[in-house]
Structure 1
Amino acid sequence: MEVIDDIEWRVSAAPVPYADALAEMEARAAAVREGTARELIWLLEHPPLFTAGTSADPAELFNPHGFPVHQAGRGGRYTYHGPGQRIVYVILDLDRRGRDIRGFVHGLEGWMIAALAQLGVAAHRAPGRIGIWVGEGADESKIGALGVRVKRWVTLHGFAINVSPDLSHFSGIVPCGIAEFGVTSLAKEGKQIGLTGVDAALKRGFQPFLNGLQGPSKVS
């Protein structure tokens, strides 16, 4: 375990079953709210699975491989998780860091974009489309997904960056309800970077992300 600015930074080496991760997040968020545990940034992988957000449409789930489908309790629609994808669960107390959920999500997007830039990938937000994208026009593809929940001003869930997952697995859903664009990864973009390299870029960008949540314009 490492501690950064009094926040636990945890990296799990082996894929974590989704139900276990969800239970850990819920318990940790409750403990953060009660003041009995540190906030947590948790970097991990999951076995191949789909998660359903609160807006999930069953018509967007095909699942030819028969992967498990989990109710996530976060916002959004269907998302794929699997090996080769760096998942980052963010459990922070917005009571301490500004009660600005929109600013929090914007900050997560910026953190992802900054980390990818360090790795030589120019990524961007796309108006009207959730997620982080690369390319332009017909070649635009999603490289990162976001989905969060805020419970008693403590955040749960977070984001995922596609490092080197099996992209064919995404064909089991309409990712985040967006059918017109494809999905890509660092590997597909020609960046042979392992999870540890992605983790290092995320760690370098963490303090600027955190500082952005504590700006003077935020509600204390």
Structure 2
Amino acid sequence: MSELIVRALGLVDYQPTLEAMRKLTAERDADTPDEIWLLQHPAVFTQGQAGKAEHLLAPGDIPVIQVERGGQVTYHGPGQLVGYLMLDLRRMGLGVRELVTAMERSLVDLLASYDVEAAPKPDAPGVYVNGAKIASLGLRVRRGCSFHGLALNVDMDMQPFQRINPCGYSGLQMVQLSELVAQPVSIEEVAQRLEQALRKQLGFPQA
């Protein structure tokens, strides 16, 4: 199995992170290690390549950035754990659908470790708890390598989700981990558990 580098980046601006992710993907070769970045972003809406303007209801003072991932509009903000997966899928022998399934299973396993029962939906990518969405997925694959990834609502201001149709679904209920557990949740702890879950599902050794 090839090497995996996991970077905990903390709170970082969206645009420079996006450009760094694109650069790594554009410049990597068959020997470049796979990387997973775990981080948070300041408040930003991102509009996927198929995104429709009507799903941006009232962005207000929050910037909107067009990106090349799949999916519609979503919100990122402090207290949401974002995971970017820069993986050589050809080297791993993985198809895009298999990667999406591995990401969904990782999130389900992570949430189960907090005694939260979650599940994916076959017709709407992401992970849901009692019909409310707790995690969003959006990927891009270029030259057999993935970038972009997932976003898990941990302990954040949920109000900006009301300014959009999340992922293009009008009235979609959003939920976060802090609302589902009795004890306070640490995003650093959640990030560590997510890393372990992703390593397991993707076949990388545990750190």
Per the TM superposition, whether the score is higher than 0.5 is yes
Pairing partner for 2:9 from 12, 18, 25: 12
Identity %: 33
Pairing partner for 2:141 from 129, 150, 153: 150
Moved more, 174-183 or 150-159: 174-183
Indicate the RMSD between aligned Cα atoms, in angstroms.
1.7
Indicate if the aligned counterparts of 1:28 and 1:37 stay in contact, CA closer than 8 A. Answer: no
Residues in 2 aligned to 1:71 and 1:7: alpha-carbon distance in whole angstroms: 29
Pairing partner for 2:47 from 30, 37, 52: 52
Corresponding residue for 1:201?
193
Residues in 2 aligned to 1:166 and 1:62: alpha-carbon distance in whole angstroms: 18
Residues in 1 aligned to 2:149 and 2:59: alpha-carbon distance in whole angstroms: 26
Pairing partner for 2:100 from 99, 102, 105: 105
Q: Which stretches in structure 2 are left out of the alignment for 5+ residues?
A: none
Pairing partner for 2:35 from 32, 35, 40: 40
Moved over 4 A (4+): none
Q: CA deviation at 1:5?
A: 5.8
Letter in 1 for 2:51: A
Q: TM-score, normalised by structure 2?
A: 0.92
CA 1:180–1:207: 2 relative to 1, 3 Å: same
For residues 205-220 of structure 1, the aligned pairs below 5 Å read: 205-211=197-203
Q: Which stretches in structure 1 are left out of the alignment for 5+ residues?
A: 213-220
Indicate if the aligned counterparts of 1:99 and 1:153 stay in contact, CA closer than 8 A. Answer: no
Pairing partner for 1:31 from 27, 31, 53: 27
Letter in 1 for 2:111: L
Aligned length: 203
Q: TM-score, normalised by structure 1?
A: 0.87
